[in-house]
């Protein structure tokens, strides 16, 4: 039936229908086979969505998510001036993020501007964008922290990963290769960020009011402040000539603490993602290989077929133009149920100290739920299939995307279940050192396949420390590969991971929260 319909409709119609139909698939479009092959990446994209932690580790986003910011959501904006902003500008979800920009050092000052609300302010010699130049004309003299509130539910596009990180490592790939036609240079040769923002507001402004991105902190590019936001207040910053008002030794430390409070979620439902209509490159049969072998685990669009990149842009426009009337499945919640059940336990089973008997105890604990004793020939296959569909068998799939997400999540589940049942069987057969070692090897291969970001968490740090992962433009290689608790004194020395711009640890590169000289 499905293929007959496909032939009748012709290829281009099939593509157009793909986002609504659970059955029809075109060869070059989103397809089940790609979802199966990239199952762990899709699973982790769901897990990391709108979370600072996983999106910092998997910093090259490959997905485009329709989302809503509810009415009456508070936002902050640092500006060299205290007058309400009109037109397109940047907003921060967090006070700490905006505060770094509420200062007047640069005259025109960074209000968010082409570097985003938390990006480092432009260096004095750096060319500024046309947008910023226009602002310079105003006599900005009262640096202020602005407070805005959404005037209504705001439809936005969320770009996952570190999509506001100004690097050449792939963090900007969604914008550079898909949404904004590949031009990396802003007007006047300046940074491309203002151009990316203007391009996205131009091409998608009729269907969305802004774009949500992440650097060290989540931000919104609001296409028109006048229509989307109510101005609540602007509070002037302390005058620089009163030293008592300017004790400020904790700025970077408290910045990381504040942003780190969002590692596991943005809180208060401030971004509601329509997962059932996610557009992800992981659903396409396309080359996402990173040409830099040092970052092979991070995908890139730089080697992708331009035709598919264009199709993805059309798909993004299509989902944004047809807002779904049925509520999205909470795919992130589903993935959380799975991760929390297995994450700590897989690591526990692989510990050197875990004995044959303890490992079998853990496996029985995890798997007996699925086994209908006594064991006959069909018991274990049935148990594996129950295990594979647990947490997902009750979902009511409506979009084609739901079916692709189901394929990805069930592929991950299936791999977990097959591995655990296989280990259980060999441990029941044999109690030798080699069986135990082989079981732990299999668990280690499974954790490598899964790549869950939970395994790099710091645990609770002391009150005078912060858990620090590399978040553009902060952090060194160590903070990317093995994040850990960092003391108040050491936060500002952790640099050097990010390539191609500020944050690469070049002498003089500035970080958020760093402004005028401390003393
Ligand atoms: C922004 O919105 C205001 C009020 O709706 C409107 O007058 C103005 O033309 C808009 N600006 C742009 C650049 O679209
Ligand atoms: C994918 O891209 C990589 C990196 O540019 C390249 O080495 C590889 O040959 C490409 N693979 C295919 C199948 O085209």
pLDDT > 90: percent of the chain: 78
Q: How confident is the model at residue 336 (pLDDT cuts 50, 70, 90)?
A: very high
Peptide bond into 473 cis (omega under 30): yes
User: Using CA atoms, how far apart are residues 285 and 287, in angstroms rounded to an integer?
Assistant: 7
The per-residue pLDDT for range 278-309, each reduced to its tens digit, is 999 999 999 999 999 999 999 999 999 999 99
Pocket test for ligand 1, best of 227, 230, 231 (most atoms within 8 A of CB): 227
Average pLDDT of the chain, as a whole number: 86
87 close to ligand 1 (CB < 6 Angstrom)? yes
Contacts within 8 Å (CB) and 24+ apart, 438-442: 439/349, 439/359, 440/349, 440/350, 440/354, 440/359
**For residue 312, which of 283, 273, 289 has the smallest C-alpha distance?**
283
Peptide bond into 374 cis (omega under 30): yes
Decide if pLDDT at 517 tops 80: no
Upper half-sphere CA count for residue 25 (Cβ side, 13 Å): 18
Decide if pLDDT at 321 tops 60: yes
**For residue 176, which of 60, 277, 282, 320 has the smallest C-alpha distance?**
60
Mean pLDDT value across residues 155-170: 97
Q: From the alpha carbon of 86, which atom of ligand 1 is closest?
A: 1
* Residues β-bridged to residue 142: none
Q: Between these two residues, 338 and 135, which has the higher pLDDT value?
A: 338
Decide if pLDDT at 19 tops 90: no
What is the model's pLDDT at position 203? 96
- Token pair of 119, please? 């990006």
291 close to ligand 2 (CB < 6 Angstrom)? yes
User: Using CA atoms, how far apart are residues 513 and 250, in angstroms rounded to an integer?
Assistant: 9
224 close to ligand 1 (CB < 6 Angstrom)? yes
Mean pLDDT value across residues 134-160: 83
Name the most confidently modeled range: 96-105, 113-122, 269-278.
269-278
Is the pTM higher than 0.95? The answer reads no
Q: From the alpha carbon of 88, which atom of ligand 1 is closest?
A: 13
DSSP tag of 182? T
DSSP tag of 364? H
Starting from the CA of residue 286, give the closest ligand: 2
What is the model's pLDDT at position 222? 98
Mean pLDDT value across residues 324-328: 92
Mean pLDDT value across residues 106-131: 34
- Of 2-11, 228-237, 372-381, 476-485, give the lowest mean pLDDT range: 2-11
Q: From the alpha carbon of 291, which atom of ligand 2 is closest?
A: 4
CA 290 to ligand 2 center in whole angstroms: 9
pLDDT > 70: percent of the chain: 82
Q: Between these two residues, 404 and 501, which has the higher pLDDT value?
A: 404
What is the model's pLDDT at position 100? 78
Q: What is the dihedral of CA 336, 337, 338, 340, to 10 degrees?
A: 80
Decide if pLDDT at 186 tops 70: no
What is the model's pLDDT at position 500? 87
Residue 8, C-beta contacts closer than 8 angstroms, at least 6 positions apart: none
| Strand blocks (E) in 223-344 | 229-236, 272-273, 279-280
Residue 266, C-beta contacts closer than 8 angstroms, at least 6 positions apart: 50, 51, 93, 218
Q: Which helix (H) or strand (E) holds 438?
A: helix 433-450
Pocket test for ligand 1, best of 86, 206, 224, 231 (most atoms within 8 A of CB): 224
The per-residue pLDDT for range 256-268, each reduced to its tens digit, is 999 999 999 999 9
Q: What crossing angle do the helices spanning 331-350 and 433-450 adopt, rounded to 10°?
A: 150
Pocket test for ligand 2, best of 173, 286, 289, 301 (most atoms within 8 A of CB): 289
The per-residue pLDDT for range 218-247, each reduced to its tens digit, is 999 999 999 999 999 999 999 889 999 989
227 close to ligand 1 (CB < 6 Angstrom)? yes
303 close to ligand 2 (CB < 6 Angstrom)? yes
Q: What is the dihedral of CA 409, 411, 416, 420, to 10 degrees?
A: 140
User: Using CA atoms, how far apart are residues 285 and 63, in angstroms rounded to an integer?
Assistant: 14
Contact 495, 112 (CB under 8 A): no
Mean pLDDT value across residues 116-127: 34
Decide if pLDDT at 29 tops 50: yes
* Residues β-bridged to residue 73: none
Take atom 8 of ligand 2 and give the residue whose Cα is closest.
289
CA 312 to ligand 1 center in whole angstroms: 29
287 close to ligand 2 (CB < 6 Angstrom)? yes
Rg (CA), the chain: 25
Q: Between these two residues, 344 and 10, which has the higher pLDDT value?
A: 344
């Amino acid at each position: 039936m499905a293929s007959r319909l496909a032939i009748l409709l012709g290829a281009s119609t099939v593509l157009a229908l793909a986002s609504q139909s659970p059955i029809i698939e075109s060869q070059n479009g989103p397809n089940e086979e790609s979802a199966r092959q990239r199952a762990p990446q899709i699973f982790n994209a769901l897990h990391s969505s709108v979370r600072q932690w996983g999106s910092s580790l998997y910093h090259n986003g490959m997905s485009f998510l329709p989302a809503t910011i509810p009415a009456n959501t508070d936002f902050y904006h640092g500006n060299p001036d205290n007058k309400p902003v009109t037109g397109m500008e940047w907003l921060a979800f967090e006070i700490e993020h905006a505060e770094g920009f509420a200062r007047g050092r640069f005259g025109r000052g960074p209000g968010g501007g082409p570097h985003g609300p938390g990006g480092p302010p432009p260096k004095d010699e750096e060319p500024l964008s046309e947008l910023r130049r226009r602002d310079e004309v105003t006599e900005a003299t009262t640096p202020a922290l602005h407070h805005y509130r959404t005037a209504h539910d705001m439809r936005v596009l969320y770009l996952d990963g570190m999509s506001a990180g100004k690097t050449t490592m792939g963090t900007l790939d969604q914008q550079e290769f898909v949404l904004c036609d590949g031009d990396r240079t802003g007007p006047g040769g300046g940074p491309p960020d203002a151009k990316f923002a203007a391009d996205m507001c131009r091409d998608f402004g009729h269907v969305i009011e802004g774009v949500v991105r992440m650097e060290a902190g989540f931000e919104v590019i609001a296409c028109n402040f006048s229509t989307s936001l109510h101005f609540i207040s602007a509070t002037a910053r302390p005058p620089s000539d009163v030293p008592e008002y300017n004790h400020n030794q904790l700025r970077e430390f408290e910045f990381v603490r504040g942003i780190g409070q969002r590692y596991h979620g943005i809180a208060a439902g401030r971004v509601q993602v329509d997962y059932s209509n996610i557009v992800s490159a992981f659903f396409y049969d396309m080359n996402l290989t990173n040409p830099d072998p040092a970052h092979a685990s991070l995908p890139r669009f730089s080697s992708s077929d331009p035709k598919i990149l264009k199709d993805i842009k059309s798909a993004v426009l299509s989902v944004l133009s047809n807002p779904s009337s049925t509520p999205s499945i909470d795919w992130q919640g589903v993935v959380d149920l799975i991760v929390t059940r297995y994450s700590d336990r897989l690591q526990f089973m692989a510990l050197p100290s875990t004995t044959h008997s303890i490992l079998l105890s853990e496996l029985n604990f995890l798997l007996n739920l699925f086994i209908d004793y006594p064991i006959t020939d069909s018991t274990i296959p049935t148990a594996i299939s129950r295990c594979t569909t647990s947490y997902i068998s009750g979902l009511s799939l409506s979009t084609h995307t739901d079916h692709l997400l189901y394929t990805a999540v069930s592929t991950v589940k299936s791999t977990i279940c097959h591995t655990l049942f296989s280990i259980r069987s060999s441990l029941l057969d044999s109690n030798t050192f080699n069986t135990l070692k082989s079981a732990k090897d299999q668990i280690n291969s499974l954790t490598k396949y899964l790549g869950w970001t939970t395994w790099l968490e710091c645990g609770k740090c002391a009150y005078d420390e912060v858990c620090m992962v590399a978040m553009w433009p902060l952090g060194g290689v160590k903070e990317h590969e093995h994040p850990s608790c960092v003391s108040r004194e050491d936060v500002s020395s952790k640099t050097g991971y990010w390539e191609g711009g500020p944050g690469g640890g070049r002498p003089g590169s500035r970080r958020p929260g760093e402004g005028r000289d401390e003393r």
